[in-house]
Amino acid sequence: MGNPGSRSDLDADETSIVTPIIETLADAVPKIRTAFETHRAYEGEENPSGEEMLAADVYADELLESRLGDLDCVGTYASEERADPVDTGEGLSLAVDPLDGSSNLTSNNGVGTIVGIYDAELPATGRDLLGAIYVLYGPTTTAMVATEAGVTEYLVSDGDLDVLTEEVEINDEGAVYGFGGPVPEWSREFRRYAMSIQRRLKRRYGGALVGDVNQVLSYGGVFAYPELETRPEGKLRLQFEANPIAFIVEQAGGESFDGDSSVLETEAERLHQRTPLFVGSEEPMAQLIETLGGRARDPHVTTRDSPWE
């Protein structure tokens, strides 16, 4: 591998490193799908980010910890649902969001699973990722698998994987956008950007990061969960959500941004650290980066101001 601080010493190429992980995930899919019906109640407990956990969150986390943690290539299993990483031996570090967008179970909308495969101790930067995967539980189950070699989309059916798209590439112009958070809490610059984007692109926001990013990868466009007045650090988690998603989008030819630089450059200080996240096609991302360039010099407007300037 040769990365400074590398924890593994595997010789195989990056694509084959991901193979046992994606196969294990595919095998777990039928059980996780069943849990959407059998584990719908709230647990009455909060995860380390202060969000109420559904029984399905806990079920998916425990299943994936035991299955992925058993793999020889995995040395650490960390999850959005656990305060601390689990030491599973020598090998790669996995940062897992077992059930992304789980509040969508209530309204029967799409949810996902995200796995970041880091060749470093956690917390780590996105530059330490060897690969990233997301599984989207929609009308069908699909998996987007990214390595240094590129991005492949699979259909996941009965635990098997069939290639749907060999080389996933995001188009440059974009057709859809999805922006999270209340409009009055966005910065003035981000509102200006949103005004301009909505004249050209179609709004598509479903409330699960995996589903929303999958639309952006499918049609081209831009996804954003910006910093908010009440959440200056953003909502999404760097290790479990933003880094793996940014890696996938960048490997598909798109861009990522955290307000300053590529998300993959963001310094990792805490396991459950949050970050603003912007990902998408080249053209709308270039406009975003240009518009937000002055962000730091122009403080947030208050909620009393008009939401659109």
Q: Toward ligand FDP, which CB reaches closer, 115 or 161?
A: 115
Give me the least distance between CB of 245 and ligand FDP, in Å please.
10
Q: Is 99 annotated as a binding residue?
A: yes
Q: Which does 102 bind (CB under 5 to 8 A by kind): Zn ion, ligand FDP, none?
A: ligand FDP
Give me the least distance between CB of 51 and ligand FDP, in Å please.
6
- Give the CA diameter of the chain: 58
Q: Alpha-carbon distance 186 to 115, whole Å?
A: 29
Q: Is 277 annotated as a binding residue?
A: no
Strand 236-237 versus strand 160-165 pairing type? unpaired
Q: Alpha-carbon distance 276 to 72, whole Å?
A: 34
Note whether 207 binds ligand FDP by CB under 6 A.
yes
**Number of amino acids touching ligand FDP (CB under 6 A):** 13
Tell the residue number behind the tokens 């796995």, with chain if given: 115
Binding residues (CB under 5 A) for Zn ion: these are 97, 100, 241
Note whether 100 binds ligand FDP by CB under 6 A.
yes
By CB under 6 A, the residues from 31 to 90 that bind ligand FDP are none
Establish whether the linkage from the previous residue to 123 is cis, with ω within 30° of 0: yes
Nearest-10 Cα torsion for 84, 85, 86, 87: -130
Give me the least distance between CB of 5 and Zn ion, in Å please.
26
Q: Toward Zn ion, which CB reaches closer, 100 or 250?
A: 100
Q: Alpha-carbon distance 65 to 195, whole Å?
A: 43
Give me the least distance between CB of 116 and Zn ion, in Å please.
12
Note whether 101 binds ligand FDP by CB under 6 A.
yes
Which tokens hold the place of 184? 């009055």
Q: Alpha-carbon distance 32 to 77, whole Å?
A: 18
Q: Which does 208 bind (CB under 5 to 8 A by kind): Zn ion, ligand FDP, none?
A: ligand FDP
Strand 52-54 versus strand 129-137 pairing type? unpaired
Binding site per annotation, positions for substrate = 100-103, 205, 235
Which spans of this chain sit near ligand FDP (rule: CB under 6 A)? Answer: 100-103, 180-181, 207-209, 212, 225, 235, 241
